[in-house]
Structure 1
Amino acid sequence: MRHRTVARSWPASLAWLLLAAVVLVALLGPLLVQADPLRQTSAALLTPGSAGHPLGTDDLGRDELARLVHGARPLLLVSFAATALAAGVGTLVGLVAGYAGGMVEQMLMRLVDLALAFPSILLVILLVAAAGPGTVSLILGIGISLAPGLARLARTLTAREAAKDYVVACRLGGTSAPHILLREVLPNIGGPLLAQVVMTLSVAAGFAAGLSYLGLGIQPPQPDWGYMVQAGQEFLFTAPRLVVLPATLTLLFVVACNFVGDDLRDALDPRGTA
């Protein structure tokens, strides 16, 4: 077996560093930046470098650096939670459909096809609008809308593995279906699934930021990168940093997830081992 590693190119290495940096900012940033992101002062729209405000203040006099740091956590929370929900539901449906075959597969995959017939962003907006804005509804809406794509991939991979000799031998030996799926099939399809899940994380982050921009996501006064872009667009020409900074951070996170997903796919591709 030839060992495969991640981050074998400089774009991949940079993507891993960016992804790790954003996660660290979300976890540790609020502990390092002591300024209150909700505290308003009379000094509105201070320029970067002002005393006590390295990145200035927004239109309500709130510290911009503190809002950027504290705004990372809600976005990552929604993105990771929604991706985990999508991965759990999609993998379960795909495993059952690909292993059972027959009528069970037809019924499950027709439901998946029906969900995929709707544009994902429209499905997310409908689900979130029906449940009302907020963190929980955002996680459920994004997770449910992204699950069908993972279900289709899991079904294809499971059907391929289910036809192999080791699975047939397990069936003939009387091994239960849950044991075969969890202990035999899932570990062998985990690589491609993991790579796709990381790419799905970037889509979830884009949806979360977009819905917050539309007012259907994280609600003010809690800082959130998507809402910060919406709130700052009025001052795009007088204080462009209010839009550029949160938008750039969101873009970097989304692009980093895509590059990391590509890197994982290449590293875990079984056709690349010998």
Structure 2
Amino acid sequence: MSDGNVPAVLGWWRSRAFARSWPTAIPWLVLAVLVLVALVGPLLVGADPVRQTNRALLPIGSPGHLLGTDDLGRDTLARLVYGARPLLAVAFLATALAAVLGTAVGLVAGFAGGRAEGLVMRLVDLALAFPSILLVILLVAAAGPGTVSLVVAVGVSLAPGLARLARALTAREAARDYVVAARLGGTRAPRIMVQEILPNIAGPMLAQVVMTLSVAAGFAAGLSYLGLGIQPPTPDWGYMVQAGQEFLFSAPRLVVLPAALTLVLVMACNFAGDDLRDALDPRGTPAPQASA
């Protein structure tokens, strides 16, 4: 049987480190608020985020426009609230895709060993040697701008890093007694990987996935800024920064507010991932290394 991290994952919210250190709750609270805004915020904002009016560049605190309007007279608060939804959707979906691909590749490589592992990890090393942002831009440019192509491009570009970590963790677990016993007992390799090894690497993998979420969000916002991500008129924080930079000195809020929200999201994911790693993997996660 596995010595697994499943009970640790299920009981993480009751961990002493989390309960006794309230600052660790801040990034989780921030993430919860952002997700809540993306889910129910549009129901609470009365303004249409794409409706243009003749009341352009109204300042903060204007009647009917709490955060003013942009250069086309669109409500800034509504656009910020609606803009959270596509960014978070792309970030979560791309991270989920990267987690599935990376974990699967790393599990197979780490468990198989030998030449198969060497071949797979050489391909992973090759992908890691290529700048991720450049790979994302090339994939999106080839497939065309859009939500689906953005999710696939970001997910594929982030998968090699998770695969490398999954391979290192799997190789560590594959040498332990419970895996050796399962092999000697005639248990098939897929069952060992899914039922024995995967629960034991779930903790550190989950922590890394949460931290990867910040990279995915940054890529999504950056590509929208470049015009390769979420396409207008759909509100998006990255595109809002690009559209508002023309008014950086006359109406800096058009740039500062969406940029600040993106930064808060990225930092919250990083700090949450660190906290999750400390709670679920107190022994420390081995640094992923290329296979020999």
TM-score by shorter chain over 0.5? yes
Per-residue deviation, 1:47: 0.9
Question: 33, 38, 42: which one pairs with 2:50?
Answer: 38
1:206 corresponds to 2:218: yes
CA 1:243/1:7 → structure 2, altered by over 3 Å: closer, same or farther? farther
SS at match of 2:249: coil
What is the TM-score when the length of structure 1 is the normalising length?
0.96
CA 1:62/1:259 → structure 2, altered by over 3 Å: closer, same or farther? same
Structure-1 residue corresponding to 2:71: 59
Structure-1 residue corresponding to 2:104: 92
1:131 corresponds to 2:131: no
1:69 corresponds to 2:59: no
Equivalents in 2 of 1:125, 1:7: separation in Å? 42
Question: 154, 176, 199: which one pairs with 1:164?
Answer: 176
CA contact (8 A) 1:90 1:150 kept: yes
Per-residue deviation, 1:103: 1.6
Equivalents in 2 of 1:41, 1:164: separation in Å? 66
Structure-2 residue corresponding to 1:226: 238
CA contact (8 A) 1:55 1:63 kept: yes
1:49 corresponds to 2:58: no
Choose 11-20 or 137-146, whichever is displaced more.
11-20
1:248 corresponds to 2:267: no
Superposed, 1:263-274 pairs within 5 Å as 263-271=275-283
Q: Percent identity?
A: 79
Q: May I ask how many residue pairs the two structures share in their alignment?
A: 272
Per-residue Cα deviation, 1:113-132 (whole angstroms, up to 9, x for no partner): 11001011111111111111
Per-residue deviation, 1:149: 0.2
CA contact (8 A) 1:15 1:260 kept: yes
- Cα root mean square deviation, aligned: 1.4
Structure-2 residue corresponding to 1:150: 162
SS at match of 1:223: coil
Per-residue deviation, 1:3: 4.7
Equivalents in 2 of 1:154, 1:6: separation in Å? 25
Choose 101-110 or 76-85, whichever is displaced more.
101-110
Question: 192, 196, 200: which one pairs with 1:184?
Answer: 196
Residue type matched to 1:238 in 2? S
Equivalents in 2 of 1:178, 1:89: separation in Å? 16
Structure-1 residue corresponding to 2:288: none
CA 1:211/1:123 → structure 2, altered by over 3 Å: closer, same or farther? same
SS at match of 1:23: helix
CA contact (8 A) 1:7 1:263 kept: no
Equivalents in 1 of 2:151, 2:252: separation in Å? 30
Unmatched 5+ residue regions in structure 1?
A: none
SS at match of 2:66: coil
Equivalents in 2 of 1:31, 1:186: separation in Å? 40
CA contact (8 A) 1:42 1:60 kept: yes
Structure-1 residue corresponding to 2:113: 101
Residue type matched to 2:21 in 1? S
Per-residue deviation, 1:14: 1.3
